Chains A and B, each alone.
Chain A
């Protein structure tokens, strides 16, 4: 492969990560959908019990970590495409990262309360 030195990554890691995280989220989505549509009426007890299971907590955390990485690549792509002034783009990227970090922290707080 002919590579021009850019001083940073070439984007392959991000490209691959976006696809792998997508696959993880797809699997989780199908599992949750099956659980939700299994016919059990969703009462508070059922809902609370579902999210107190160890596997559900870990799976949900894996989903959110995948989402965080996936969304970072996606939102950064959007910002790189449409926001031309460097300062504004950098500001928005930092804001995006902080938002993602907050989402992750909140998720952990919700799951292990």
Chain B
């Protein structure tokens, strides 16, 4: 038995410190948890988005008010976060569909496609953010 194996403390309990600083999620793990977080975020945000759709279609004056509202920077920022959440959920979802078909499940490919998903959703967010404002 190697000395390193002897020194390990077992069992190891998960503390908040361990979760935050000691255990490193691999990139595919980040894609997965971000998929979950973005999905939950979008679900909660539907009420806000539906409210804006409702107002924007109710009358010309209300439409202009929503347009002004959407141009305020905190609102813009929140919308941009939601655009990112949508793009990430979209891209990661397509990756998961391929994983369902047993495509790209070896470690190297899984990491590569995770990087692509992360980059593609950020680029899409930047593009849409630039395009919409």
Please list the residues of chain A having a beta carbon within 8 angstroms of any beta carbon in chain B: 19, 22, 26, 29, 37, 44, 47-48, 51, 67, 71, 74-75, 78, 99, 103, 106-107, 109-110, 113
Contacts and interface: CB of A to CB of B under 8 A. Distances in A.
Interface string B1-44: 00000000000000000000000000000000000100110010
Interface in B83-117: 86, 90, 93-94, 97, 100
A75 B40 contact: yes
A26 B40 contact: no
Interface of B: 36, 39-40, 43, 46-47, 50, 53-54, 56-58, 60, 63-64, 86, 90, 93-94, 97, 100, 131
21 contacts: A22-B93, A26-B90, A26-B93, A29-B86, A44-B63, A44-B64, A47-B56, A71-B39, A74-B36, A74-B40, A74-B43, A75-B40, A78-B36, A78-B39, A78-B40, A103-B46, A106-B54, A109-B54, A110-B53, A113-B57, A113-B58
Given A51-B57, A75-B40, A110-B57, A19 B47 contact: no
A75 B43 contact: yes
Across the A-B interface, the 5 shortest Cβ-Cβ residue pairs? A44-B63, A44-B60, A71-B43, A110-B54, A74-B39
B97 A19 contact: yes
A67 B53 CA distance: 16
Given A19-B100, A22-B97, A75-B40, A47 B50 contact: no
B50 A106 contact: yes
A78 B41 CA distance: 12
A71 B47 CA distance: 13
B36 A37 contact: no
B97 A47 contact: no
